[in-house]
């Protein structure tokens, strides 16, 4: 029995991974700190600095886009030595650089490769999903060619499947929100699967300086799709991107979503994964100038046999930025599997960073598995705050008792709690039609567990 | 008039080591509408076990004995059925239920208890009125059930439910513990208001005599080691106030 509140609870059934935490490359004495020993009284130990053990000398100051391994190559490619830091992960536009997937790689170790339906082995030549657009006046949505200068500005693939899509897409969809535009209403890209042959897709969302908009990527139908979504949040812009995976039961979807966040920009990213056989979303947010504010939310609801994976990365590369991450998942049925990996990196330069990430999972029945791995890597001690929390609990008997002791029958009590648990994410969406639709979808999922 | 009758109740729990431990060793008690019974006793005597067993907490196993409400077998009912039959437990440690607002919770419970949704206009008025009498801030209605409430606030919210749900029998499990004098008065007034309607019997479980200054019991039962060691009228409480539980616990130690 465990609680849903802030206490991190471990039970025998709790498969949440232990927190992996690392403090590396701490800066020595950049600023005098109150209470810190100074001058000659400071004891020096090799390999240690004021902020802690100097674990990895490899990742001194790596570039914001691309790990160390990318330095050697003009187009971000190259097989350098990946180091233990998140910043050192291989990034490349070329599929070949990633070799062959074995499933033993750190970022694939939870994914059942056999169920990728060839995304990692075949050429992604299938028909890309159809994109239907509804957009407020003034926002342009258009097809752009591979050679468009905006492509490749927000991110570089970090895994083979994303790189394969990058190589294979023929035309990208560009959503362009003009500078200073305060959009009324929502831009919706309805992305409908067009078949089950492995396919590639590329989307670029560009929010001009001081603009304000909400963009929804709404995935439906059936597909075997690898997708790259680039998001450029201009200086002072306020952008919300909501990615809904409401696929048919058999769909396979890998989506790498890269956000580049400008000066004083506010970016909110919401991932909602409900449908599909295997869905793997890898969102990242990289701060490129000071004053940025990022919120990343996620909701996933896995039924029997479903694999829903989310791996996110927040890259604090510059000073005085703030990030908040909250992902919540519910699992029901045999072999429902969810994965949440949250990497936060506070680089040496990123003084004044304020970050917190939370993952909560609720196991509604026996037979599910929730993996939860928060990683926090701190290279400077001169920050506002950094923390993370993860808790995986069963639907709590004490909650149930309290509600039932007030006359509420068990099924209604269960709904009340699950609805409440997930509503914290749904209410972040702030698009009424979409909130209603997702609430209804959650109700449908709940109805399944009762039958 | 209703009667809650407990006969020769034996209750045990399984400890964390998997060992069965007997807690109640033959408790008999009859409460009628309009009566207030105080159950007092030292820590670990089984007072709270009695409360939780009446409400149906799954941790407690009834080995023998019976609980009936107007002749109906309470032990055969699920937790929610007991509540709908008219039993209300004000919990010693109300749990926080994240994500469920007070408003939503109260309306859902009221609907379940009455079998139909309350008329919106009257209900809203009733909730507001009861909240203000218990000096609960109006903004609590929008907060999640018990989440971030102080100890005193949680107890007030329990009594708020008591006043809104109108149970046949209220079991108050150490509602007074952890309250300052002002909060104790507010909470006691709430219980007395509901009692004054004349449709409720009350089982008041407490460690201290302090609350008995505000809620007057008709009967006092002293619990020691899973049994009722002594019973009497309100004067028994006065004696306990002066002497404490020593003469019971010492006697227990002497005979052991």
Confidence of residue A399 (pLDDT cuts 50, 70, 90): confident
Cα separation, B202 vs A248, in Å, equals 55
Interface contact flag, A404 B78, Cβ < 8 Å: yes
What pLDDT is attached to residue A183? 95
- Would you state the pLDDT for residue A215? 98
Task: Return all residues near A387 (Cβ < 8 A) that are at least 6 apart.
Answer: A355, A356, A357, A376
Chain A residue with Cα closest to B114:
A407
Query: Is A420 in contact with B89 (Cβ distance < 8 A)?
Result: no
Question: Residue A307 to residues A13, A29, A370, B118: CA-CA distances in angstroms?
Answer: 18, 46, 10, 42
Contact state of B144 with A420 under an 8 Å Cβ cutoff: yes
* ipTM, interface predicted TM-score of the complex: 0.95
- Token digits of residue B6: 């407990």
Whether A5 and B98 lie within 8 Å, measured CB to CB: yes
CA neighbor of B147 nearest in space, from B104, B117, B177: B104
Q: What is the pLDDT of residue A435?
A: 93
Please answer yes or no on whether A406 and B109 come within 8 Å at the CB atom: yes
User: Out of B79, B84, B101, whose CB is closest to A401?
Assistant: B79
Other beta carbons within 10 Å of A38: 11
Contacts of B104 in chain A (CB under 8 A): 416
* Residue A427 contacts B where some CB pair is shorter than 8 Å: no
CA within 13 Å, CB half, B141? 16
Instruction: Give the minimum alpha-carbon distance from A355 to chain B in angstroms, rounded to a whole number.
Output: 23
Give the relative orientation of helices A397-404 and A410-426 as an angle to the nearest 10 degrees: 120
Minimal-distance CA residue of chain A relative to B78: A404
B-facing residues of A in 385-414 (CB < 8 A) are 396-399, 401-410, 412-413
What residues contact B52, with CB distance under 8 A and at least 6 apart? B59, B60, B89, B173
Judge: A408–B108 Cβ closer than 8 Å, yes or no. yes
Segment among A100-104, A340-344, A418-422, B179-183 with least mean pLDDT: A418-422
For residue A30, the model assigns a pLDDT of: 34
User: Which residues on chain A are in Cβ contact (under 8 Å) with B80?
Assistant: 404-405, 407-410, 413
Cβ contacts of B57 on chain A, cutoff 8 Å: 401
- The conformational region for residue A221 under phi > 0 = left, psi -120 to 50 = alpha, else beta, is left
Mean pLDDT over the full length of chain A? 85
- CB of A4 within 8 Å of a chain B CB? The answer is yes
| Phi/psi at B79 (5° precision) | -55, -45
Q: Which residues on chain B place their C-beta less than 8 Å from a C-beta of chain A?
A: 55-58, 78-80, 82-84, 88-89, 91, 94-101, 104-105, 108-109, 112-113, 144-145, 147, 161, 165
Confidence tier at A297 by pLDDT (50, 70, 90):
very high
Chain B nearest C-alpha distance from A3 (Å): 9
| DSSP code, position A196 | E
B-chain residue closest to A424, CA distance: B99
pLDDT of residue B251: 54
CA distance A400 to chain B (A): 9
Residue B99 has its nearest CB partner, among A406, A413, A424, at A424
**Pairing label, strands A238-245, A266-273:** parallel
Which pLDDT does position A310 carry in this prediction?
98
Residue B97, min C-alpha distance to chain A (Å) = 6
Average pLDDT over residues A90-104: 94
Which residues in chain B are contacts of A403 at CB distance < 8 A?
A: 97, 105, 109
Q: Which residue of A has its CA nearest to B99?
A: A420
Distance (Å) from the C-alpha of residue B95 to the closest C-alpha of chain A?
Answer: 7
Crossing angle for the helix pair B151-165 and B102-114, to the nearest 10 degrees: 30
- The span from the CA of A268 to the CA of A216, in Å, is 12
> What pLDDT score does A76 carry?
41
Q: What mean pLDDT comes out for the span A8-29?
A: 32
Residue A11: its pLDDT value, please? 33
Average pLDDT of A36-57? 46
Chain A contact set for B58 (CB, 8 A): 397, 401
Tell me how close the Cα of B96 comes to any Cα of chain A, in angstroms.
Answer: 8
Angle subtended at Cα A226 by Cα A221 and Cα A228, rounded to the nearest 5 degrees: 110
Which pLDDT tens digit goes with each residue over B106-165? 999 999 999 999 999 999 999 999 999 999 999 999 888 998 899 999 999 999 999 999
- How near does any CA of chain B get to the CA of A371, in Å? 22
Residues of chain B in contact with residue A410, where contact means CB-CB under 8 angstroms, are 78, 80
Task: Measure CB to CB from residue B98 to each of A402, A407, A420 and give the nearest one.
Answer: A420
pLDDT at residue A57 is higher than 70 = no
Residue B135 gets which letter from DSSP?
T
Specify whether the CB–CB gap between B83 and B114 falls below 8 A.
Answer: no
Q: What is the pLDDT of residues A420-431, one digit of tens each?
A: 889 889 988 999
Q: B205 vs chain A: nearest CA distance in angstroms?
A: 18
Distances (CA, A) of A207 to A142, A182, A256, B28: 14, 11, 18, 73
The half-sphere exposure of A108 on its side-chain side, counting CA atoms within 13 A, is: 19
pLDDT of residue A451: 56
User: What is the pLDDT at residue A25?
Assistant: 30
3-state secondary structure of B67: strand
User: Is-contact A371 A340, C-beta < 8 A?
Assistant: yes
Task: Report CA-CA distances (Å) from A339 to A17, A103, A111, B5, B98.
Answer: 10, 15, 9, 52, 23
Indicate if the pLDDT at residue A58 is higher than 60. no
CA closest to A402 among chain B residues: B95
Among A206-220, A350-364, B167-181, B238-252, whose mean pLDDT is lowest?
Answer: B238-252
Q: Which residues of B188-199 are buried (b: 16+ CB within 10 A; e: fewer)?
A: bbbbeebbeeee
Asked if B99 lies within 8 A of A423 by C-beta distance, the reply is yes
Positions of chain B with pLDDT lower than 70, given as ranges? 250-256
pLDDT of A60 above 50: no
CA–CA gap between residue A387 and residue A391 (Å, rounded): 14
pTM for this model (two decimals)? 0.72
pLDDT of residue A344: 97
Inspect the interface and report whether the beta carbons of B104 and A416 lie closer than 8 Å: yes
Give the per-residue pLDDT at B249: 75
CA Rg, chain A, in Å? 22
- Say yes or no: A416 contacts chain B, CB-CB below 8 A: yes
| pLDDT tens track for A301-315 | 999 999 999 999 999
Tell whether the torsion through CA atoms of A30, A33, A39 and A45 is positive or negative.
negative
The residues with which B5 forms a beta bridge, in sequence order, are B30, B68
pLDDT band at A395 (very low <50, low <70, confident <90, very high): confident
Provide the number of CB pairs (under 8 Å) joining chain A to chain B: 83
Determine, for residues B105 and A416 on separate chains, whether the beta-carbon distance falls below 8 Å: yes
Which residue in chain A is spatially nearest to B115 when comparing CA positions?
A407
Where does A332-399 show beta strands of DSSP type E?
Answer: 337-346, 354-363, 369-378, 385-394
- Which residue from B minimizes the CA distance to A397? B58
Residue of chain A nearest B86, judged by CA positions = A407
pLDDT at A450: 60
DSSP 8-state class, residue B212? G
DSSP state of A365: S
B99 to A406: CB separation less than 8 angstroms, yes or no: no
Q: Which residues of A touch B97 (CB under 8 A)?
A: 399, 402-403, 416-417, 420
Looking at residue B131, its pLDDT comes to 96
């Amino acid at each position: 029995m465990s609680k849903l509140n802030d206490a991190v609870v471990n039970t025998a059934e709790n498969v949440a991974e232990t927190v992996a935490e690392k403090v590396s490359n701490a800066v020595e004495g950049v600023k005098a700190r109150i209470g810190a020993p100074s001058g000659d009284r400071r004891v020096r130990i090799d390999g240690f600095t004021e902020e802690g053990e100097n674990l990895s000398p490899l990742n001194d100051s790596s570039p914001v886009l691309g790990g160390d391994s990318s330095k050697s190559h003009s187009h971000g490619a190259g097989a350098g030595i990946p180091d233990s830091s998140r910043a050192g992960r291989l990034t490349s536009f070329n599929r070949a650089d990633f070799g062959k997937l074995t499933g033993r790689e750190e970022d694939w170790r939870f994914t059942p490769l056999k169920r990728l339906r060839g995304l990692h082995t075949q050429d992604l030549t299938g028909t890309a999903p159809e994109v239907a657009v509804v957009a407020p006046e003034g926002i342009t949505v258009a097809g752009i060619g591979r050679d468009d200068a905006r492509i490749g500005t927000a991110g570089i693939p970090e895994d083979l499947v994303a790189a394969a899509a990058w190589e294979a897409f023929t035309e990208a969809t560009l959503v362009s929100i003009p500078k200073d535009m305060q959009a009324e209403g929502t831009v919706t890209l309805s992305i409908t699967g067009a078949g089950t042959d492995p396919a590639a897709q590329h989307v670029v969302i560009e929010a001009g300086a001081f603009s304000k908009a909400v963009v929804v990527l709404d995935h439906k139908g059936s597909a075997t799709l690898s997708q790259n979504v680039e998001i450029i949040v201009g200086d002072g812009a306020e952008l919300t991107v909501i990615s809904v995976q409401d696929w048919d039961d058999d769909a396979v979807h890998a989506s790498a979503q890269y956000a580049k966040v400008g000066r004083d920009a506010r970016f909110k990213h919401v991932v909602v994964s409900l449908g599909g056989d295997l869905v793997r979303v890898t969102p990242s947010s990289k701060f490129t100038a000071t004053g940025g504010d990022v919120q990343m939310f996620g909701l996933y609801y896995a039924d029997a046999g479903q694999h829903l994976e989310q791996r996110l990365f927040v890259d604090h590369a510059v000073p005085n930025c703030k990030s908040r991450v909250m992902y919540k998942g519910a699992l029901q049925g045999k072999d429902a599997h969810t994965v949440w990996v949250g990497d936060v990196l506070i680089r040496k330069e990123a003084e004044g960073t304020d970050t917190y990430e939370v993952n909560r999972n609720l196991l509604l029945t026996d037979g599910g598995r929730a993996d939860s791995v928060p990683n926090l890597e701190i290279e400077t001690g001169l920050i506002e705050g950094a923390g993370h929390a993860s808790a995986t609990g069963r639907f709590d008997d004490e909650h149930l008792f309290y509600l039932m002791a007030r006359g509420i029958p068990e099924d209604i009590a269960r709904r009340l709690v699950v609805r409440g648990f997930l509503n914290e994410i749904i209410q972040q969406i702030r698009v009424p039609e979409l909130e209603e639709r997702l609430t209804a979808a959650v109700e449908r999922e709940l109805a399944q567990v009762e039958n | 008039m209703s009667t809650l009758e407990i006969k020769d109740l034996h209750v045990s729990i399984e400890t964390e080591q998997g060992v069965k431990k007997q807690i109640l060793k033959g408790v008999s008690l009859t409460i009628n509408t309009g009566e207030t019974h105080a159950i007092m006793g030292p820590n670990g005597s089984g007072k709270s076990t009695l409360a939780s067993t009446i409400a149906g907490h799954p941790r407690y196993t009834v080995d023998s004995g019976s609980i009936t409400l107007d002749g109906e077998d309470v032990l055969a009912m699920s937790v929610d059925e007991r509540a709908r039959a008219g039993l209300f437990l004000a919990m010693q440690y109300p749990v926080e239920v994240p994500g469920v607002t007070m408003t939503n919770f109260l309306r859902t419970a009221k609907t379940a208890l009455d079998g139909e949704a309350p008329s919106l206009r009257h209900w809203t008025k009733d909730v507001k009125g009861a909240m203000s009498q218990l000096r609960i801030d109006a903004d609590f209605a929008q907060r999640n059930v018990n989440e971030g409430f102080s100890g005193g606030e949680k107890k007030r919210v329990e009594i708020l439910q008591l006043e809104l749900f109108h149970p046949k029998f209220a079991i108050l499990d150490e509602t007074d513990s952890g309250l300052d004098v002002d909060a104790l008065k507010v909470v006691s007034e709430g219980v007395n208001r509901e009692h004054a309607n004349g449709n409720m019997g009350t089982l008041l479980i407490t460690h201290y005599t302090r609350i008995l200054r505000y809620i007057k019991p008709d009967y006092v039962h002293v619990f020691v080691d899973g049994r009722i060691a002594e019973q009497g009228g309100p004067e028994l409480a006065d004696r306990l106030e002066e002497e404490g539980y020593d003469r019971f616990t010492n006697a227990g130690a002497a005979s052991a």
